[in-house]
A and B are shown apart, each in its own frame.
Chain A
Amino acid sequence: MEDEAGRMLRIYWRMVGAALRNSLIERHSLVVRVAGLVMSDVPALLALVVIIVRFGSIGDWGAAEISFVFAFSHVAYGLRNFVFHGFRTVPHLIVRGEIDMLLLRPLPVGLQIAGGRFTLEGATSHLLVGIMMAVTVGSIWPIQWTAGRIALLVPALVSSTLAQGGITIAISSVAFSTISNRGLENLYSGVREFTWYPLTIFHRPVQVLLFTAIPVAFGGFMQSGLFVSHPFFDQIGWVVWSAVLLSGPLIYAAGFFLWRLGLRKYSSTGS
């Protein structure tokens, strides 16, 4: 079992390496495209900085908390792009019949998609924006780092990444039944916008939606609560915090279950 898992991991990294070398062939184009993608998120970052400088807070969320939530969510989303971005191409693969080729190979289809469809661009742009926020605003209004918070940083990022990845995989698995999941994909792009900001500033029905039906609240916001001080987070005990950290793997497992279900029911489009 461990040998098999290790073998899969080695194959994954080899595919990522190949995709990485491919994207580095034209470095100039890569840099230009990453710069362009970063430009897309910079206005939101600058607008947030203007609000923080002008007003000092958004509701009862202070500058340090707002900037950390924004930075953390962007970094988590960038990590999600590193691993799971390839799943967004599933509808195209189905239409072109490439899923059939992937099914013939003696490797899990998900592994082939995650590794073979790896792109550096989308991942680095969000990571860069998150790091920019952390370095600029975060250095002016820093959060209090303790040994406990430092120790929890990696598990929190992993949990957020898995939650977002699980949602991505679930959305992509819809394509096995409907061929096109563009509508869901676009909706998720919109809903993901909520995760850059403290969710308690939105209306209560929206919050309920983001914690239940579309659990993007566990894609960065809740995990960031481990590092910031705010009345919403201060009332949460260690049992619930443990559940928050576990939510990522659980959402990922649910997404993976839907993926396996979709794959089992998949019938070729005949391309």
Chain B
Amino acid sequence: MIWYYLRTSALATKDRLIYRTDALIEFATSFVFDYVKVAIWAVVLASVSSATAKQEALSYMVFAAGISSMFVSSNVSFLSDAHLTGSLTALMTRPVAPVFDRVFQAVGGAIGVFVIRSVPTIALLWLIFPIQLELSVPRILAGLSLLAMGYIIHILVVQLVDGLTFWVLDTFSLHRLRDSLVRFLGGALVPLWFYPESILQVIEQLPFRSIVFAPAAVLSGVISVAAVREELIRAVAWIGGLGTLCLAEWRVGLRRISSFGG
């Protein structure tokens, strides 16, 4: 059965890479957003006296911009759409679990987006802004591991919000709230160490920092490779907890589905 899901993932990756014009337009659009973010920080950090702090923050923002572009524009409200249109019951008749199917599709799509969007974004921003990258193989491996875990956490959070469709039907606003929280509390817009202590204490209790901040901080050198273990443990714990919540929500939510007609 796992081979089916892996094949779904591979097809989703291929799907992302096959429409080159669409991919180019999507990259150009998201690059503008990312350039704006980093350009603002480049000007803000010019007033910072410490050259090391300046480099660290700017490098972090470049990686954060590239990583956060992975989380944009995916069909997140799959459950909500399926529930509203009634196609959820049709999906339930298939011999595959709709949620797992969707998760593996999302992962496959993310790999494609990473190749066509994140990597070129980081490369272009590195050329435009004067940052020094000190990438080593351990750092890259650690960063990519945290990125993979961060993306899984993101998918689980999306599924958790989407699963609320069994209770509230339309999850449009809840997804917007979710996206806002990931961007603001996950370090996609502001390096987390610039936040006041009160906000940092809230961020520590939430999974969002593992989505963007952790991989970006490791890749940019803000978090040393030696300290990566703590981030990995945190990410694994959140994956376990959120995964359990998603499964429980799915089981309870399924009991609420009613469908009629033929």
Contact with A along B147-187 (1 / 0, CB 8 A): 00000000000000000000000101111110110011000
Dominant secondary structure of chain B at its interface with chain A: helix
| Residues 31-56 of A at the B interface (beta carbon under 8 Å) | 32-33, 35-37, 39-40, 42-44, 46-47, 50-51, 54-55
Partner of A40, one of B30, B35, B128, B176: B176
Can you name the residue of chain B whose Cβ is closest to the Cβ of A52? B44
Are A186 and B29 closer than 8 Å at their CB atoms?
A: yes
Cβ of B4 under 8 Å from chain A: no
Once A186-B29, A187-B28 are accepted as A-B contacts, the answer to whether A32 and B173 lie under 8 Å apart by CB is yes
Once A39-B180, A186-B29 are accepted as A-B contacts, the answer to whether A202 and B39 lie under 8 Å apart by CB is yes
Are B29 and A47 closer than 8 Å at their CB atoms?
A: no
User: Roughly how many angstroms separate A42 CA and B178 CA in the complex, as a whole number?
Assistant: 12
Cβ of A132 under 8 Å from chain B: no
Partner of A197, one of B36, B46, B170: B36
What is the interface residue range for chain A against chain B? 20 to 34
Cβ of A270 under 8 Å from chain B: no
| Interface stretch (choices B115-123, B133-141, B189-197, B228-236) | B189-197
Partner of B170, one of A32, A186, A193: A32
Cβ of B43 under 8 Å from chain A: yes
Dominant secondary structure of chain A at its interface with chain B: helix
Are B43 and A59 closer than 8 Å at their CB atoms?
A: yes
Cβ of B51 under 8 Å from chain A: no
Are A201 and B172 closer than 8 Å at their CB atoms?
A: no
Cβ of A58 under 8 Å from chain B: yes
Q: List the B side residues contacting A59 at CB < 8 Å.
A: 43-44, 46-47
B116 to chain A, nearest CB (A): 15
User: Roughly how many angstroms separate A203 CA and B35 CA in the complex, as a whole number?
Assistant: 10
Query: Across the A-B interface, how many residue pairs have beta carbons closer than 8 Å?
Result: 85
**Interface-central residue, B170, B176, B189, by most chain A CB under 10 Å:** B176
Q: List the A side residues contacting B175 at CB < 8 Å.
A: 36
| Residues 12-34 of B at the A interface (beta carbon under 8 Å) | 21, 25-26, 28-33
Are A201 and B29 closer than 8 Å at their CB atoms?
A: no
Partner of B32, one of A46, A50, A51, A193: A193
User: Roughly how many angstroms separate A37 CA and B176 CA in the complex, as a whole number?
Assistant: 7
A219 to chain B, nearest CB (A): 15
Q: List the B side residues contacting A39 at CB < 8 Å.
A: 173, 176-177, 179-180
User: Roughly how many angstroms separate A225 CA and B174 CA in the complex, as a whole number?
Assistant: 37
Contact with B along A48-79 (1 / 0, CB 8 A): 00110011011100000000000000000000
Can you name the residue of chain A whose Cβ is closest to the Cβ of B47? A55
Q: List the A side residues contacting B28 at CB < 8 Å.
A: 187, 190
23 example contacts (A-B, Cβ-Cβ < 8 A) are as follows A29-B170, A36-B174, A39-B177, A39-B180, A40-B176, A40-B179, A42-B180, A43-B183, A43-B189, A47-B184, A51-B40, A51-B44, A54-B194, A59-B44, A183-B21, A187-B28, A189-B29, A190-B31, A190-B32, A194-B32, A197-B40, A201-B40, A202-B36
